[in-house]
């Protein structure tokens, strides 16, 4: 079984999450994954980068608690607010609902969304440390 390791101490915000993802998953590729949850989800299906196949993978997330804080309420709020400033590119109503849910305590943080995406891939076993 292949083991990949995310270094949570390298993650301070959403952009640095993708820097770490690219360092771990895309090191041998000539291109980098963009800052997109959809792109991250697509990456986990395999076919390129460190997940060239659909083999079982253990993803060890070191300093996961640090990442949880870095990708928490404030980072998620900024993420949604940024989407709302670009109504020509993004569905404003959707992101306003997401922001409202976050603010009233019923929404997910970026970290929780990332964990949900990982959980949707049965070939990946996440180990948080």
The pLDDT of residue 52 is above 90: no
Q: Where are the alpha helices (H) located in 26-123, listed in sequence order? A: 37-44, 64-70, 73-84, 92-103, 110-119
Q: What percent of the chain has pLDDT over 70?
A: 100
- Reported as a pLDDT band with limits 50, 70 and 90, residue 1 is confident
Please state the domain extents for the chain.
2-71+110-128, 73-108
Side-by-side strand order, sheet with 124-128 = 2-7, 57-62, 124-128
* 2-71+110-128 under CATH 1.10.3720.10, yes or no: no
Over residues 96-111, the pLDDT tens digits come to 999 999 999 999 999 9
Over residues 16-50, the pLDDT tens digits come to 999 999 999 999 999 999 999 999 999 999 999 99
């Amino acid at each position: 079984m292949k083991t990949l390791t995310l270094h949570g101490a390298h993650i301070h915000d959403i952009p640095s999450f993708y820097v770490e993802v690219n360092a771990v998953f895309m090191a041998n590729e000539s291109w980098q994954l963009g800052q997109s949850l959809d792109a991250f989800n697509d990456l986990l299906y395999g076919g390129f980068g460190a997940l060239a196949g659909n083999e079982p993978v253990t993803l060890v997330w070191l300093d996961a608690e640090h990442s949880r804080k870095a990708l928490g309420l404030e980072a998620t709020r900024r993420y949604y607010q940024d989407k709302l400033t670009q109504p020509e590119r993004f569905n404003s109503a959707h992101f306003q609902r997401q922001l409202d849910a976050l603010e009233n305590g019923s929404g997910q943080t970026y970290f929780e969304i990332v964990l949900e995406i990982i959980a949707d891939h049965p070939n990946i076993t996440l180990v948080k440390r």
